Structure 1
Amino acid sequence: MKRTWYHRMLLSYLPIYLFISSVIILMTFLMISRMSQKEAENANRMFVEQQVEAVDRSLRAIDNMLIKELQFDDVIIKFFKNVNDPTFLLSYSVSEKINQLRSSDPLIDSIYLYRFSDRMVMTPNMLIPSDRFGDREFADGMRDNRSYYTLSEQRRYAEFPDQSNPVEVVSIVRQYPLLGEREGLLVVNVSLQKLQRWLEETAGSDRSYFYIQDKDGHKMAGINRSAGSSKGTEMSRVPSGYTGWIFIGGVLDGHLFQFASVLTYIWLICGFIIVGFLWIMFVTRRNYKPIETILDRIHHYSSQKSSKLTLEKDEFKFIDQALEALIERSQTYQKLHEEDMDIRRRQLFHDLTEGSRIMDREAWTAEASANRLPPGFGQTGFAIFEIDRYAAWTQAYNPKDQYLLKFVLSSVVKETADGRQAGVWSEWIANHRLAVVYFLQETGGETELHSLAEQVRGWVEGNLDFTVTVGLCANTGTIADLPDLRDEAVDALSYKGSVGINKVLLPPYRGGQGEPYKHLQNIRSFTQSFRLQEPKWKEQFTSMFEEIRQDLLNREEHVNLMNFLVYQLNKETSALSAEIVEKWSTVYLPRVSEAIEQYDLMEELQPRLRELFEGLEAEIQALRENRSNSVLARNIRRYIEQNHSNPDLSLNHLCDEFDLNGKYISRMFKEEFGEKLVDYMVHVRIEKSKELLTRTSLSVQEVAQSVGYLHDISFIRAFKKVVGQTPGEYRKQ
């Protein structure tokens, strides 16, 4: 008997053996090559670190020389101190000193002194005003820089404005004196060309490259620095803690790992040998056909049912193709069926809860059976689970995690109901709201519904990183009652902003005691005070929100009040300067609108809005302080507030008091505070009279005299015009 199978298996194992042996040999050579490369990298890094130390040491020596000269050299000190001594001898001495300093270090290209008091610049060649100096822009920039020491970026230096060949330098700048009030600068320009020659003389090589790179990635100097990724291999990158420059070193290609390159060619040949053995293995596999019968049956079936499956040369590919086609078709049918059922079930949910379709028990039983819903029940309840702080929730989780967490919430609702022998039907009616229909027992439905909702709420709080607030219907009913049950749950959930989050809410929450319109006057008063930048606006803001929270208002009423607040702020700020209006409309109005749109609780909205209003207040104050007449306008306003009880207080009185023209005062006050001067006088007097009417027992005539009105008739008329009611009516209220 021939050993056919033995030889075939042996022929199959032989390529594997050769392949593994080749890999082991290759890994050995690669390890040796890697060790050599590591040693080369260490040597190159030591070389680069030496260059870093040498460059830093040279620059530090120059800086130390500057410090010494600025402290002890009489010529330099005399140049900065004796501004009124323009003698030729002093200029010559300073010029000689500069030349002496320049020759003290081979890297220095040029040095100049800049005196702030008369804006004169002393170079090695001349004493000139700064406006005729070629490096004027840099010197003036350093004058505005408050730093005691500066090492500039790579730049071009020219002593004369029309100089055709500026020098590439970096500048070391020290102020004079070293500490205290700045009187001038000493600027030393280090030539990058000299630095280049110095590096070539001290560290030149035809096998490696080395260059210095500034913070922005620009090459400054180096050895063979034109070598890039195509000509050299980078091996070291060392930052300088003193200059902030990056020192980069490597080796030029053609000198690196030549031995490894030879190995590459050798193993390329080995690769072709391995491919040959793989081909032998492939041929051997083709001779093996133990499932020929199965192939024939699949081909026979596919020729009758479909033209997609054709007998391939590779019989395993043919089998795989047939199985994939079968699985894909089955999954497609299943997916279409599930999607169709989801759409029909979602549409049915919408129709029943919106009241566009009414069913009796018999019709529901048939529909429930077709849509995999509980067919029989005693009572029906409705709940809406809303994700708290949804805007922050969407920022915290990506779409995939959001989908997963929503699935978890739906599953918890179902599993909780299954544990109580209650049916459940849930659908997402909004991105942050899960509506749930509960199918309960005949009795005790309301208690059971509240218990189920509370159990889900508690589980989410204890096991997930977010919370939910639940709106429940007050009563249970039948399928036909779902629209009313839904309205009750939505109404209960609308009071979330007043009652709080992470709770189970049941209607009704308000019995008519909450009246949103009574807060409109508080909003008007707050916005007027904010426009006038009165200190009491913060107190009014806090009081306004406290009164709103005391009333159990729903979200729609909260949003309407906040929109009225935005409307009033738009109205009040429109009377201010164009700069303030632009700042409000482009920066703060979108943020306020976003906060109103995304809030969950009024107690969270209040600090957010206060933070925005305080920021706007700071912007307004900064804009006003930049105006020349801002201080005068505030003084006039303060004078009115302090002398409102003076009957003679008028525009003419203010003209005499401040020795200004009446039209100028009125226009300036209007531009500064957005309100006419006369209207502001009346506003101050009426506000003060309100305090007296509510906090004292003074008569109306006495109150009128206390706020600057000689005749109580004039006071009553002005009070009613502003407040909308007489002083007596206001006191009774």
Structure 2
Amino acid sequence: MKKNTYIKRMMFSYLPILFLTISVLIFIFITILNELNVRNAIQSNKVTTEYIGHMIDNSLKTIDTDVRKLIETNMELHAFLDNPSDRLLNVVASNVLSGMMVQHAFIDSVYFYRAIDKQVLDQSKIRPLDVFPDRSVISELLEQPYPVNWSSPRLKKGSNEEDLAIKVISLGRKIPINTGSLGYIVINVKVDALSKFIDEMIDRNLTNAQIYDDQHVPFLPEVTFASSNKGVHAEVVSDYTGWSYQTEIKGGRLYSILLNGSVFWIFAIICAILFAIGSTFYVTRRNYKPIEAILHRIDRFSTTIKSADLKNDKNEFAFIDQAIERLITNNMAFQEKRQEDLTIRRQQFLLSLLNGEYESEKAIWLQEREHYALKEGTRFVATILEMDHYVQFCLRYNQKDQSLFKFVINSVVIEFAEQHNHQVMIEWIAKNRLVILHMSEEEQDIEHNSLKLTEQIRSWISDQLDFTVTFGIGNATDSSMISRSYQEATHAVNRKVTLGINKIIDTVEVQEGSSGEWFTYLQWIQSLVRQVRQAELKWQDHLVSLFQEMRSQQLPKEDINRLLHYLIFQLERELEGIMPEVGKYWSSSLKPDLLLAMEQSDTIDQIETSYRHGIEQMVEQLLELSQNRRHYVLMKEIRSFVTENFKDPNLSLTFLSDRFQVNSKYLSQLFKEEIGENFSDFLIALRMEYAKQLLIQTKENVQDISEKTGYTSSISFSRVFKKWVGMSPGQYRESQQ
């Protein structure tokens, strides 16, 4: 029995918590059922309210409809209102009123007001309006330009002055409906009749019902709601009268508690659950102390415990065995976590080296250098491996295969480095870029060794895998300039767009090229765009020369992208407002294709092929559309004439208009439509191109050049040249020398 003491203590410790938890669950279940019942009762109450409102509205609408029909179809009624002295018509009209009261049980009284003599006819007699007891309602109708449907509850006096007033609702209609020139009809319905009608549809012992007008004044003051909680009320607003129909289930306070007390019960349940959880933790903690003491001892003295000492009590041995297993598991997890932390720390160390974060923190660098066993004077070379045609690589392989190939590349780099006893650190810095940091204490051999290792890796990947890689190598440096070597490697690999793929690009090879003059490229692009717009055949030579110049200058990818974006911008601006077919082809097809080719191509040859093919299709479309136009031949002749005679200072739209017998305004419009630019811009472009040739090829002064290009004033020529080219003629001549 002594062995069972601990088990009993455990059982009796948890029984109160178990009992409390089960009680809370039962209470939650009962509360949910009660709430569902309450919601069902409220829903039924809402349906009843809608039914009451629907029935009352239908009854009132029926009265209103019959009144309108009476006004529109009863000719005797119109005769009564139009003939004040005919007693027979008075009797007929009185019978009409009696018939309406018989037909509709809701109606308390009905009477006609005759406008011609201001007489009022009810069921008993006809009398002047001034002596009619209920004259106030007629006075209000006469003052209202647009009578409402049904009035709010009011007190109506009886046919005689001594009769008691009763509460009614009234409906007044003009006769005829639109003008009221003959008079009015007034129908009064007892509020008591509405109350009795409601009593027939509900049980007053279970439900209260009330009607409110649009000012929220109750129809039945004797009916009051016991609860102010809107949750147990049902309300329906009539679209016809604007009244509110409200009902309340008696005993609403209890329903309100059940409906709105959920917050309190939820709070109580949460407190009970928190108490149960806290008690469980407390009891578990208290009962766990003996086991915890054993586990602490095992943790502290795991190397000195003998298995023979643990055979006396099977229960204790089970606890000890479990603790030892847990200890082993924790130790394995700790080792894995430690290894992972070391890997992350190594990666962070490499990234910090590449970004130059240790260049100003000498103390931290010394600490990290000792941690990784790097000796003073170690030389470094940064190399970047970039996967070629990475877009096609992603399209060909799924995510799992991509990760596998990258793991293969990592393994190949590490294996070749170990074979040659090279010390390297590697890390993927982008989806398609792997950085390799070579480290060596031998200053003379590190560059040669890094080139040799890189070539072996490149050759193996090219032979064994379905894709290739390109390497960019920086210069050898010490620890303080690693970031510069990394930047040089990045700059080198960016040059593969002009130097080619599947090769090793050294910093020395990159430095042989230069970036060229941006102004020359921009002028070249503007001239190319103009030739494309005019569908000239020599645009292809211009495009080939542009790409050849970028190759010879070995521009990096970012510079090439910048120039090609400018080319796309100039094309879009030049094509704006021309033939709709060409504009649609440009925006929907050609422009996206050019941007996609620039993004997905790894070499400048691929980019050139895509651009030449796309622009060629657009030029063919321009030629076809231009030749189909009515004035294509005429504008071709005029354009040739201007090209041959642009040096003539008298050349103008008026001169061309007289020569070719075309209105000058219409000729200007044709220039814009067929050539794509204004006549003045076309002429200035020809003159400025010729002026640039003279400035470069001759030593003539500005005055002579201005006269040869068609300008009588050198000042005007210089102003136009600076606006067109961006610099004065003299500055342009100096920049080309």
For normalisation by structure 2, the TM-score amounts to: 0.49
For normalisation by structure 1, the TM-score amounts to: 0.49
Structure of greater Rg: 2
